[in-house]
């Protein structure tokens, strides 16, 4: 089972570049499932129905989220109804949407879980215990993908080891900067600390650089808008054993526009 997992897609430029790159690489790679982090897909902050539809049209089949989940009011129209959208699992009980979804790939159930770290982010419930809870709920599922959306590398590395041998993959998202540490951990879990983003390369994490520099220089609020110019596409390709769900390989795919 071959899976493509795309990092945070940023705004309209990111959505358009997702479409362009996927159009080119899908025939060549023939993935069985394409997942993307969509927390910045609408105007750089959050997800709307329109942005989600564009990603589905491009070939994305499942969308995970993060700390920007609730930035667009429109997301409420899809969080509960659209079974392809997953928000962080460790939000408090009663939060709209679901922290996990199950999809069918090659006749197998694939469990997709979104977790959010707590360092420099909202203080959600413990993502480690949340992961234990969901794994206990679905002991029969062997193909499990975890998007660990977190700011600090240590929290993501720790989650990789914590879930090693229990899930097929732990991929980090949120920082928009890809890390060079993709590998299969000894007990068969594919791991990368951060996928990176699909978005404008010459901004600051996809935001217009002048606006970010102004805020840093002046400590005054400034508008943050999605940057323009060439995009970067960051993803991983992972191959999982069809029967056991163990990862056989993971490699980064980085394309420049």
Task: Please identify every residue annotated as catalytic.
Answer: 68
Q: Which of 18, 64, 67, 168 is the binder for Fe ion (CB under 5 A)?
A: 67
194 forms part of the interface with Fe ion (CB under 5 A): no
What stretch of H or E contains 7? none
Q: Which of residues 12-51 bind Fe ion (CB under 5 A)?
A: 39-40
The residue range among 47-55, 66-74, 133-141, 158-166 that interacts with Fe ion, by the rule CB under 5 A, is: 66-74
232 forms part of the interface with Fe ion (CB under 5 A): no
- The residues, ordered by sequence, that sit 6+ positions from 116 with a Cβ below 8 Å of its Cβ are 66, 67, 88, 90, 91, 122, 124, 127, 149, 150
Q: Which of 36, 174, 198, 247 is the binder for Fe ion (CB under 5 A)?
A: 174
242 burial type by CB count under 10 A (0-12 exposed, 13-18 middle, 19+ buried) = middle
The residue range among 106-114, 171-179, 218-226, 238-246 that interacts with Fe ion, by the rule CB under 5 A, is: 171-179
Composition of the chain by helix, strand, coil, percent to 5: 25, 30, 45
Q: Which of 66, 99, 160, 245 is the binder for Fe ion (CB under 5 A)?
A: 66
State both tokens at 187.
């007990």
- Residue 197 Cβ vs Fe ion, minimum distance, rounded to whole Å: 7
- The residue among 84, 86, 82, 104 whose CA lies nearest residue 95 is 86
200 forms part of the interface with Fe ion (CB under 5 A): no
Site residues, Fe ion (CB under 5 A)? 8, 39-40, 66-67, 174
């Amino acid at each position: 089972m071959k899976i493509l997992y795309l990092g945070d897609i940023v705004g309209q430029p990111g959505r358009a570049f997702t479409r362009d790159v996927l159009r080119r690489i899908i025939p060549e790679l023939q993935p069985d499932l394409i997942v993307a982090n969509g927390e910045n897909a609408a105007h750089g902050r959050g997800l709307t129905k329109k942005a989600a539809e564009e990603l589905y049209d491009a070939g994305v089949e499942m969308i995970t989220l993060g700390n920007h989940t609730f930035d667009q009011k429109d997301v409420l129209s899809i969080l509960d109804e659209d079974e392809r959208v997953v928000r962080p699992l460790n939000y408090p009980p009663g939060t709209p949407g679901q922290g996990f979804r199950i999809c069918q790939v090659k006749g197998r159930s694939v469990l997709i879980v979104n977790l959010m770290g707590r360092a420099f982010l909202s203080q959600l419930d413990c993502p480690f215990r949340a992961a234990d809870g969901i794994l206990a709920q679905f002991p029969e599922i062997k193909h499990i993908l975890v998007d660990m959306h977190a700011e600090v590398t240590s929290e993501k590395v720790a989650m990789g080891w914590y879930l090693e041998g229990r899930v097929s993959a732990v991929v980090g998202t949120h920082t928009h900067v890809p890390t060079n540490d993709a590998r299969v951990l000894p007990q068969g879990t594919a791991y990368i600390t951060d996928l990176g983003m699909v978005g404008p390369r010459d901004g600051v994490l996809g935001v217009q650089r002048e606006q970010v520099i102004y805020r840093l220089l002046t400590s005054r609020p400034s508008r943050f808008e999605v940057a323009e110019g060439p995009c970067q596409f960051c993803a991983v390709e992972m191959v999982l054993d069809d029967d056991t769900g163990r990862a056989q390989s993971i490699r980064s795919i980085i394309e420049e526009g």
